[in-house]
Structure 1
Amino acid sequence: MDTSDRIKLAAIRLFAKLGVEAVTVRDIVAAAELKNPGSLNYYFRSKDELIRQVIVESMGHANELWRRRLEAIEEEGGPGSLREVVEVLVTWPLSEPLDGSVSHTARFLAMALQTRGQTVRSLTREMNYTAYDRAIGHMRNFLSDLPQDVVAQRVIFFFWSLTGFLTAYEAYVDSEARDDSVWHNIDPFANFVDSMVGMLTAPVSKQVATMPKAKRTA
């Protein structure tokens, strides 16, 4: 790896574990094992620009993974079911680190969404990451019998759930723990896909169908 790659790899690991805002330039330089404290500014000008580039690359890796998986089923005339679409998106790792270590991409993106959500959304549009949107388009087609407002909200719930699931699994793998029955008794990915299909296709209750759009209070 060259110096810029070492900086990005060190940064994404720290951001994933400590949060984007908690990590300092000094922390990143130390984690990258660089002797020159000014190396980060030399390559990236600022921490903000480094964060931007790491988001762009992380989203790019995820988009490429989803694109390949989606095109594979589209070339076969699919998707033929909602489950196929969900399976496209429920995959890990979202990237392969250059040093062969465990991916931190899901955790980093979760952290970035918490504190820099607008930046993530803006870059997604700017860089034209379309694979996720294409998958969601297929998903909506299979849910056309449900009210559009319900589907829109459930798609958001799906994305939040997917982010949490991949983040938890990534952290588990990184911990090298091997005795957690949550991840071992049955296939967690297949079960998560089943759960998401169930959530997306669940009948709309009377309460939801008749609830006004104003904020619901307890």
Structure 2
Amino acid sequence: MSERSSGPRGAGTRERILDAAERLMAERGVAGVSLNEINTAAGQRNTAALHYHFGGRDGLLRAIMRRHGPWLRARHDELYARVAGSGGPGDVRGLVEVIVLPVAEYIGMGSSQRWAIRVWTSALAHPHLAIEEVESLVDLSLTRAGRDLVKIMAEGMPRELAVERLVVASQSALHVLADRAILEDAPESRRSPLPLSLVARNLVDMTVSALTAPVGAATREEAARILGRS
């Protein structure tokens, strides 16, 4: 079912449902909250309101992504264009910045933005999502940056290992930033975290190191045994 709205009143209902969904899905995970709970939290006595506007959980999730997509997409495009324009397709650091910096910057903008990043992190971690569905939740420039990184890494290791490293490193970075989003919304936290900008830059360094670390001899032997090549 496509998203629906019926004038200002319908648009207001739709926004209240999105607000409630962002908050609850951020707190409990995409699958950890029922649609009825979201409907109730949005102040809707009509139990069909969420289904009317979004059709269900998938439509709701995609609406959240579309709500926050324009800024992230523009920033991913900007950073990727900078790498491509520099004539440096082998610029690992620049490509990692495409992945890390927009998310870090976004969580510094407000609670709704932080909730969205936490929801995105939860959605991407779902094992039932096929790779095509994952890519549909990711901006084109982000996908291109990932493919460029795999191409670079595959020069020194089997492509399967390069893909695994990228997935693990990217998900790790995203989870680190999602955890930071929780701290940003916890004013009574007893922790004293580093400034967000420094966390982001340090995370870029760590991710670059993870992607470019030498492949150990034991790993190469295992790869040769399982994949049939070194």
Match of 1:108 in 2: 119
Q: Once the 2 structures are TM-superposed, how far is the Cα of residue 155 of structure 1 from its aligned partner?
A: 1.0
Distance 1:186 1:59 in 2: 21
Distance 1:110 1:42 in 2: 26
Match of 2:6 in 1: none
The question of 1:207 aligning with 2:218 is answered yes
- Percent identical among aligned pairs is 24
Distance 1:15 1:128 in 2: 18
Q: Once the 2 structures are TM-superposed, how far is the Cα of residue 48 of structure 1 from its aligned partner?
A: 4.0
Total equivalences in the alignment: 214
Q: Once the 2 structures are TM-superposed, how far is the Cα of residue 177 of structure 1 from its aligned partner?
A: 5.0
Matches within 5 A, 1:2-21: 2-21=12-31
1:19–1:111 CA contact under 8 A, matched in 2: yes
SS of 2:114's partner is: coil
TM-align CA RMSD: 3.5
Distance 2:17 2:127 in 1: 20
Q: Once the 2 structures are TM-superposed, how far is the Cα of residue 209 of structure 1 from its aligned partner?
A: 0.9
Distance 2:63 2:42 in 1: 16
The counterpart of 2:42, out of the listed 32, 43, 67, is 32
Match of 1:49 in 2: 59
1:58–1:109 CA contact under 8 A, matched in 2: no
Q: Once the 2 structures are TM-superposed, how far is the Cα of residue 206 of structure 1 from its aligned partner?
A: 0.8
Question: Using a 3 Å threshold, how does the CA distance of structure 1 residues 143 and 109 change in structure 2: closer, same or farther?
Answer: same
Q: Once the 2 structures are TM-superposed, how far is the Cα of residue 124 of structure 1 from its aligned partner?
A: 4.4
Question: Using a 3 Å threshold, how does the CA distance of structure 1 residues 116 and 20 change in structure 2: closer, same or farther?
Answer: farther
Q: Once the 2 structures are TM-superposed, how far is the Cα of residue 210 of structure 1 from its aligned partner?
A: 0.7
Higher alpha-carbon deviation: 186-195 or 100-109: 100-109
Matches within 5 A, 1:1-218: 2-55=12-65, 62-78=72-88, 81-91=91-101, 92-93=103-104, 101-115=112-126, 117-118=128-129, 121-125=131-135, 129-147=139-157, 148-176=159-187, 180-184=191-195, 187-212=198-223, 214=226
SS of 1:42's partner is: helix
The code of the aligned residue for 1:30 comes to T
Unaligned runs of 5+ in 2: 1-10
Q: Once the 2 structures are TM-superposed, how far is the Cα of residue 198 of structure 1 from its aligned partner?
A: 1.0
- Normalising by structure 1, we get a TM-score of 0.78
Structure with the larger RCO, 1 or 2 (CA within 8 Å, 6+ apart):
1
SS of 2:179's partner is: helix
The code of the aligned residue for 1:74 comes to A
Distance 2:105 2:44 in 1: 27
